[in-house]
Structure 1
Amino acid sequence: MSTRTAFERARAEGRATLVGYLPAGFPDVAGGIDAMLAMVDAGCDVIEVGLPYSDPVMDGPTIQAAAQQALDRGVRTADVLRTVEAVAATGTPTVVMTYWNPVERYGVARFAADLANAGGAGLITPDLTPDSAPEWIAAADAHDLDKVFLVAPSSTDERIAMTTAACRGFVYATAVMGVTGARATTSDLAGPLVARARTAISAAGTDLPVGVGVGVSTGDQAAEVAAKDGIGADGVIVGSAFVRTLLDHPDDRAAGLRALRALTEELAAGVRRA
C-alpha cells in the first residue's frame, strides 16, 4: 500500500499525517516490531523502518545509539524485511529508511522485489538523489514502490523541481540543517522549504504531499508543523523522539512501550488539533 493512501485519508479528515520512525532490531527484532505495532495502534499513519547502518552520516546521536544496539545484536537486512512484513500486515503503509550502500550491496533489483513481497510501500533514501538513482527508479517502478527523495533548505529551485518530479508517495522535506535529532523549537526554515516544494509540485501539475522532519518531539510542535497558518505540512515526521523514549527505558520494556504509546497519542492529537 502506497504512503499516498495514508496522506489522502488524513487529508480527507482535515488533518496532517503522522509518520513515525524506529530502526529495525532495536532494542531487538521482536522488541522493535512490538514498538512499531504500538505506534500504529496509538495513532501513527505511516511507519518508517530504519535499516541500521555502520556509517550513519546524517543521523544524530540518539538514532546512532539505537542503530548501534541493533547492529551489535546482529541485525540483518532480512530482519528489516521481516519487520516491514509484520507492520505492513496491519494495513499501515510501511517504508524503509536507508542509506544507499546496504541496498546496493544486497542487490537493487533483489531488494525491490523482496521489499514488495514483504508488503513494503517503498524506500526513503536520504543520501541518494534522483539523478544518481536510475537503477533504483527502474526497480521501484517495476514493483510500484514509493520513491521518497529528500529536499533541504540548501536545495536550489532546480533541484527541488527535479527531486519532487521523481518522488512517488510523498516528498520528504528535511528542514533542519545538520544531523537528525529532537529539538526544543521547530525550524524557521521549514515553512519556506514547504512553500518552495509546493510551487515545484504545482508547476508539475500534481498534488504530491510534503512531509516535514524538523526534530518534532511534542504534540504542540506537531500542531505547529501541521497548522495551515504555521508550516502547513501534509505530514509530520518524527524519529528521534520515539527512539529516545525507548532508550530511556532500557531495563523495562513494558514501561518503554507505555511511554511510546503516550508520546504517539500526544503527537497524533497534535496533528489533529492543527
Structure 2
Amino acid sequence: MKTKLIGYLSYGYPSIEESIKIADVYAKSGCDVIEISYPTDNAYIDSEYISSRMRLAIEKCNDADAYFNGISKIREENPNVELLLLIYEHSIIELGLNKFIKYCKDNSIEDIILVGTKDDTITNELMKNNLKISCYVTFGMPDNEVEEAKNSNGFVYLQAKPDGKVKEGYDTLDKCIKYLKNVGIKTPIYAGVGISTKEDVNMASKAGADGVFVGSAILKKQHDFKELEAFIKELKSGIE
C-alpha cells in the first residue's frame, strides 16, 4: 500500500466556511487523509504559528455545534478521504465526553490525536468506545515512548527527522520504522514534523512510513487555492 499523504487543516481559520473549502481542495488535489485540528485558545503544546490560528478561530466562533456541523459537511463532501481529529483534552472536557464520542461516531472519525493529557482517564474512555488514540514517538525512540506506543490502539506519530540525540544504530527514518515494527508495533506508523517538500515526502515514503504529515508548509499555501492545489500535487508526486 502506498504511503498516505496527510494534510493538516487549521480548522476554523480564517472561518469554518473557508475551512470547508480548503478541505475540498486538499481532497481533490490528492490528500488521502485530512488532519483536522479542533481550535482552542490554549494550544500550549503547539507552535505560536499554529496556536495563533486556533486563538483567532475561537475569537471568531466559539460554538461547538457549528464546528461539529462543519466537519460533518467536510465528511459529506469528501466521503473517500479519511478524517483524523487533533484535539486537546481540555476541549473534550469542555464539550462533554459523551457528546464528543457520539460526534466522532456520527462522522466516522476513528483516529484521534489527543494532546495535553493530564492522566489516562479520558484516553481510556475513548479507547473503550473504540476510538483509536495515536501515540507520539520522538526520533530518539526512548524506551518509555516506545512502550506507550506498543500499548496504544492508534497509529504511531513518529518524528521524521532527528533534532538531537538518536538511538545508537538508528540514525535514519527507515531504521527507526524497522525498529518499531521489530519490537512488536502493529499499528500504522505515520511520519511527521519537519516535512515540507516533495523530497521530504519521498524520503518518508522510501523509509516505509504508512503516512506522512505535512503541516505548516501546506498552511502557508492557503492564500491561493491554485497554488495550494499545485503544491499538494507536487507533494503527492513524491510518494512511491
Aligned equivalent of 2:157, options 172, 194, 208 = 172
Gap regions ≥5 residues in structure 2: none
Instruction: Provide the identity percentage.
Output: 21
Q: TM-score, normalised by structure 2?
A: 0.85
3-state SS in 1 of match to 2:40: coil
Q: Which residue of 1 is the match for residue 221 of structure 2?
A: 245
Q: How much is the aligned-residue C-alpha RMSD, in angstroms?
A: 2.7
Residues 5-48 of structure 1, C-alpha deviation per residue, up to 9 Å, x if partnerless? xxxxxx1xxx3110111122112111101101110111111111
3-state SS in 1 of match to 2:237: helix
3-state SS in 2 of match to 1:19: strand
Residues 233-267 of structure 1, C-alpha deviation per residue, up to 9 Å, x if partnerless? 22110111122222xx3xxxxxx222221111111
Report how far residue 223 of structure 1 moved: 0.9
* Residues 1:102 and 2:87 are matched in the alignment: no
Aligned equivalent of 1:156, options 142, 150, 166 = 142
1:164 and 1:201 in contact (8 A); partners too: no
Q: Which residue of 1 is the match for residue 234 of structure 2?
A: 266
Report how far residue 192 of structure 1 moved: 4.9
Residues 172-207 of structure 1, C-alpha deviation per residue, up to 9 Å, x if partnerless? 1134689xxxxxxxx996965664465344433x53
Residues 43-79 of structure 1, C-alpha deviation per residue, up to 9 Å, x if partnerless? 1111111111112223223323322331221143333
Q: Which residue of 2 is the match for residue 39 of structure 1?
A: 26
Residues 73-115 of structure 1, C-alpha deviation per residue, up to 9 Å, x if partnerless? 1143333322332233323111111121111222223211212
Could you tell me how far apart the structure 2 residues matched to 1:39 and 1:188 are?
A: 35
3-state SS in 2 of match to 1:227: helix
Residues 111-134 of structure 1, C-alpha deviation per residue, up to 9 Å, x if partnerless? 1121211222231113338xx324
Q: TM-score, normalised by structure 1?
A: 0.75
The AA in structure 2 aligned to 1:16 is T
3-state SS in 1 of match to 2:12: coil
Query: Going by fraction, where is helix more abundant, 1 or 2?
Result: 1
Aligned equivalent of 1:135, options 109, 122, 147 = 122
Gap regions ≥5 residues in structure 1: 1-10, 179-186, 250-255
1:85 and 1:119 in contact (8 A); partners too: no
